[in-house]
Amino acid sequence: MSYELQHYLPLELGLYQPLTVNEENTSIIKPYIKNPLKIQFDCYCIECKKETTFKFYQDKFDQYYTNQYQMDIERRIDSKLPIDFIFKCQRDESHVFYFTLLINEDKVIKIGQYPSFADLQLHKINKYRTVLKNDYRDFSKAIRLNSQEIGAGSFVYLRRIFENLIEETRQIASEQEANWENNVFEGSRMDNKIKLLKDYLPDILVENRSLYAILSKGIHELTEQECLDLFPNVQLAIELILDEKIHQKEKQLKISSVRNFVSTTIEKLKS
Ligand SMILES: [Zn+2]
């Protein structure tokens, strides 16, 4: 059983998205029913505020009656009752991760989870707070909505942030390039805009710019599913631009601190 598969139910499967178990994916659910005692996975702990290993937790009674635990799970499946899986943070036992499954023949549905996907995601964007300024609220709102499977709603926020970042980049380019043609830029689709800004954007974004052509479409032209599928890629693109901004900011700080040091040292040596 691979580590990735243990990961799937707690961290990949969305709420109320029925998973149909077939021959190919049966190993996703099997260990949870047959041998949950061995299950562990790495995940961000919202209490420790860092990555940790969560291990399956059983209360004292179960520890002495291991087989009974498995029987209990199977009995619950037969009776179509929900099954709770509780995991504990290995740094502090009071930090828990849990989720509830409803298993009905070949359908597995996750009907509850703590912490929510949004809580697990949001800590990752905290470092962008200062570079995003006013857009930070919209960025966290987008992630919250997306974790609730709200496609178009979440996508609107994300697209606006992406467009704001492209606009900021356009301003820099138009200041720095003597023969910048704004008409050409404004009349272009998103993929071409990215190409025109290629010297100011991360390479990976420029290489994959065709992906963002779809951002020029009206939101009514996109299906709910298209919005959900696009979301992670646009989120990544935004984060790449922000990472670059943070990097540039730190670099500038270091440069000015070196300059400062050199000039004050020269002054000192002169006197
Ligand atoms: Zn913890």
Tens digit of each residue's pLDDT (9 = 90 or more) over 72-95: 788 888 888 899 899 999 999 999
97 contacts 43 by C-beta, under 8 angstroms: yes
How many A from CA of 84 to the centre of ligand 1?
A: 20
How many A from CA of 58 to the centre of ligand 1?
A: 17
262 is a domain residue: no
Instruction: Copy the structure tokens of residue 171.
Output: 């301003």
Task: Give the residue numbers spanning the domain of 44.
Answer: 3-115
270 is a domain residue: no
71 is a domain residue: yes
Domains of the chain: total: 2
266 is a domain residue: no
Tell me the per-residue pLDDT of 205-257, one tens digit each, with 9 for 90 and over: 999 898 888 887 878 899 998 999 889 989 999 999 999 999 989 999 999 99
Same domain, 94 and 125: no
**Predicted pLDDT at 66:** 58
Same domain, 173 and 79: no
All residues at 6 or more sequence positions from 171 whose CB lies less than 8 Å from its CB, including other chains = none
Same domain, 97 and 125: no
Same domain, 14 and 137: no
- Please report, in angstroms and rounded to a whole number, the separation of the first and last CA atoms in the chain: 71
Instruction: Copy the structure tokens of residue 44.
Output: 């961000």
Residues 210, 75: Cα–Cα separation, whole Å: 51
263 is a domain residue: no
pLDDT at 105 over 90: no
60 is a domain residue: yes
Quickly tell me which residue has 């900021």 as its tokens.
168
Same domain, 85 and 136: no
- Return the axis-axis angle of helices 135-147 and 224-270, rounded to nearest 10°: 140
Residues 97, 115: Cα–Cα separation, whole Å: 6
Judged by DSSP in three states, 159 sits in: helix
pLDDT at 110 over 90: yes
How many A from CA of 68 to the centre of ligand 1?
A: 29
How many A from CA of 15 to the centre of ligand 1?
A: 23
Which of 99, 115, 131 marks a domain boundary?
A: 115
Same domain, 55 and 81: yes
- Enter the DSSP assignment of 105: T
Which of 81, 100, 115 marks a domain boundary?
A: 115
- Enter the DSSP assignment of 13: S
**Predicted pLDDT at 64:** 42
Same domain, 59 and 124: no
48 is a domain residue: yes
Nearest to 121 by CA among 40, 55, 46, 9: 46
How many A from CA of 53 to the centre of ligand 1?
A: 9
Nearest to 3 by CA among 43, 63, 34, 46: 43
Same domain, 107 and 217: no
Same domain, 58 and 35: yes
Same domain, 21 and 94: yes
CATH number (domain holding residue 192): 1.20.120
Give the β-pairing of 107-114 and 40-45: unpaired
Same domain, 159 and 212: yes
Q: pTM of this prediction?
A: 0.70
Residues 103, 77: Cα–Cα separation, whole Å: 6
Percentage of the chain with pLDDT > 70?
94
- In sequence order, what DSSP letters do the residues of 6-49 get, joined into one string? HHIIIIISPTT-PEEP-TTTHHHHHHHHH-GGG-EEEEEETTTT
How many A from CA of 262 to the centre of ligand 1?
A: 45
84 contacts 100 by C-beta, under 8 angstroms: yes
Which of 115, 136, 154 marks a domain boundary?
A: 115
CA distances from 172 to 112, 133, 165, 238 (A): 46, 18, 11, 17
Same domain, 127 and 219: yes
Tell me the per-residue pLDDT of 158-207, one tens digit each, with 9 for 90 and over: 999 999 999 999 999 999 999 999 999 999 999 999 999 999 999 989 99
Side chain identity at residue 253, one-letter code: L
268 is a domain residue: no
Give the Cβ contact number of residue 207 at 10 Å.
Answer: 11
CA neighbours closer than 13 Å in the CB half-sphere of residue 72: 13
